[in-house]
Every structure is written in structure tokens, then in C-alpha cells.
Amino acid sequence: MTEKALSGLVAAILFFVFFASADAVDTRDVEAVRAKKVLENGDLQTIDDFVSRAVDEILTTEDFSSISNVRSLIVANSASNEPGQEQFAQQFSESAQKYIGDALQQAEELAPPGRRFKVITNLLMLINDLADPRLVDLPLKHVDSNKIVINYWAVHCLTNPKITDKLELNTARRITNRLEAVVATGSPEILRLIASFAGSVNIPEGDDLLLKVADRRIASYADWSVRYELIDADILNILADKMTSSGPGRAAAGRRFGQLLSYVFQRYIKGADVLKQSQKEQLVSVLVETERTCLPKLMGKPSFDIKRAIESGDFTALLEEHDNLLGDSTKHGQLPAQIKFDYGKDSGGAASTQPLQLASPSPMPETKPDSAS
């Protein structure tokens, strides 16, 4: 995804989040029920009616300037005011699952396409805001939508940090398997969401998913097609957390960490004359942030040598830091020695001591003529 496209995605997301106006749903009855300590059958029906009307407002409205406010009203009335009131939460969740699910199905038939897009997006945003693990099945079919905003919000629903530690084991595995299919085509922002989720679910499938995200980023560096380098600071940090664990995936995470970080170094050094200023700034941010947050917990001591080499503009010193930390053709780096990983097998079948080398940046994709012109 280009930086221009990413800007468009962010603008679209902000539009849907903040564009709001007047109240459109009556909340008086459900607010009265929220204040009760014990609910009767009529109260449960009130909750159901409220969710039905509110979701229907999203589905049928012609005035999308009010949708954000409708979503806010639904979320604000999704829980009881009485601590421990499980009846309210259970009924609200069941009603939300029913009516939002029905609305998503009906939205698929809406015309024109622009209205269908807005309704589906807002329903997914509502699911995300409700942060209810029982609703995770609803966004599953939309994670590979050809509409990037729908794609983004569907993945966001599934990777929402508010629900991650509440997921049942089978549900976490089902989400992980579904997200795995998105890695090959996901935008950088979506890959960041997936990596964060993969790093937070304590299942082997999550570890595998994280490695696949790292491999996708490594491959995009290798062919000089990488976009939005800034997300790699987060991915490296998640990998570093895996490397500090005692699990069996420690070495595999270390190999990806070393190779991805090496490509960040190499892209910055080899691309000095061809990269845009914004790209170089993102790479600097990744290098400095990784040195600040990852290396102390991996190496057991703070380091400022990478930052100093960048600030002085000394590429020779920066390359030396790369080799000392990650290794070269003649020696193991400090980090592989500490974490006990290598970079695969060399041509002779021995464990490789150096990361893969980045090819020359010519021709750069940014310099090619636009294929549409």
C-alpha cells in the first residue's frame, strides 16, 4: 500500500469515527432497566427491543451523519449500572449477536454500493466498540473484503485488545486461522493488527501467525516493495517479547527479528540516495526505537550506539553496529549468540552467521512510470 493510500485509509476511518450529529434512538426505557438490580422478563424484552431498533437505525438510515451517534448510544447502553448484573449483559449480547448478524446479511443486498459500504463499515465498527467476544463470528467473512476500510475494521474487530484475553481457546484458534489467510494481501496497518494479536494469544498457532507476518515484511524489504516501514518497530518489539520467553519458538522469533532488523539497517544505508525523506525518517524511527525498547531486554543492558551513528551520519559506524549486533560472514553477532539462533544454512550446510544481504535498490519501484498513465 502506498503512503497516499494509507492516508486515504486513515481519513476514511476518522470520517466514520467522528462524523456525528443528533440523537436518533430513544434510550429512556433501556436506561431504566440498566438501573435495576434484578430483571424481569419484560426488562429483557426492553433490552431486546432497544438493540433491535438501534441496529435497524444503522441499517435503514439515509442520513449517515447520525450513525456515529447511534453507535455511541448502543455502546453506552450495553451494560448495566449495577455491578455484577449478568442478566443484562447476557441479554444484550444475545440481542446484539442476532440483530447485528441479521443486519450484516441484509446490508449485502443494499444499493447503491456506496450505501452498502457505509452500513457494513458502521456495523463492523459497532462490533469493535462493543468488544464482546461472543460477536467475533460476525466479522469473519469480511476480513478479506476488497474494500480496504471494511477489511480493516473486520480485522480490528477480531484483534481488539479488549477481547483477546477473554477468548476461549477454540475461538482464538479459529480467529488465528482466519487471519492467516489475510497475511499475504493485508495492508501494513492490518499486518500490525495481526502481529499484535498473534503476540498476545498464548497458543502455538499465534506464534506461527506472528512468524508469517514477519516473513511477509522481510519479503517486502527483500524486493524493495515495502511500504510504511514504521510498523516494523511494533513487529520487532513483539518478536523481541517472544525471544525473551522460554518457549520453543524463541529461536524462530530470533531469526525473524535479526533478519527484519538487518533489512531495516540495510535499506537505510543502501537506499540513502534513492529513498524519499519520509521513508528514511521512518527507518530511523524503527532503528532508534528498537535500540531503545528491544535491545535492553534482549541484551540486558541499554545501548545508544545506533542512535549516535545515525545522528553523526556515519554509515560506516552504523554498518559496524549492524555487524557487531547481528553478525556478518566471519562471526556471530552478539544478539544471535545471546538468544542462540542462526540465519539458516549456508551453501555448505553450516549454520549461517549473517543475515541475508539486501540487493541494490535499482531500479526503485518509486521511479517507475505509473502503469495507468
Q: Where are the domains of the chain?
A: 14-134, 136-213, 223-365
- Binning pLDDT at 50, 70 and 90, where does residue 13 land? low
C-alpha cell at 119: 452500513
pLDDT at 24: 61
The predicted structure's pLDDT at residue 19: 44
Asked if the model's pLDDT at residue 277 lies above 80, the reply is yes
Lowest mean pLDDT among 30-34, 126-130, 244-248, 307-311: 244-248
pLDDT at 207 over 60: yes
Which amino acid appears at position 76 of this protein? A
Q: What is the pLDDT of residues 335-372, one digit of tens each?
A: 999 999 999 988 888 899 999 999 998 755 443 433 33
Confidence class of residue 62 from pLDDT cuts 50, 70 and 90? confident
Sign of the alpha-carbon dihedral angle for 226, 230, 235, 240:
positive
237-255 pLDDT, tens digit each: 999 999 998 878 999 999 9
Per-residue pLDDT at 368 = 40
Regarding the domain delimited by 14-134, which CATH topology (the fold level of the hierarchy) does it fall under? Answer: 1.25.40
User: Do the beta carbons of residue 173 and residue 203 sit within 8 Å?
Assistant: yes
- Give pLDDT, residue 20: 39
The pLDDT of residue 367 is 38
pLDDT confidence band for 21 (50 / 70 / 90):
very low
Kindly report which listed range (19-33, 202-216, 268-282, 334-348) carries the lowest average pLDDT score: 19-33
Specify the pTM.
0.89
Mean pLDDT across the chain: 91
Q: What pLDDT is attached to residue 370?
A: 32
Residue 8: what pLDDT? 59
pLDDT value at position 33? 97
Measured distance CA(123)–CA(138) in Å, rounded:
10
As a whole number, mean pLDDT of residues 318-326 equals: 98
Q: What pLDDT does 372 receive? A: 32
Q: With beta carbons less than 8 A apart as the criterion, state whether 235 and 217 touch.
A: yes
Length, in residues, of the chain: 373
Q: Interior CA angle at 258 toward 256 and 359, to 5°? A: 90
Question: Which residues, in sequence order, are CB contacts of 120 under 8 Å at separation 6+?
Answer: 104, 107, 108, 142, 150
Percentage of residues in the chain having pLDDT higher than 70: 91
Given a cut of 60, whether residue 22 has pLDDT beyond it is no
Cα separation, 193 vs 159, whole angstroms: 6
Residues 183/212, Cβ–Cβ less than 8 Å: yes
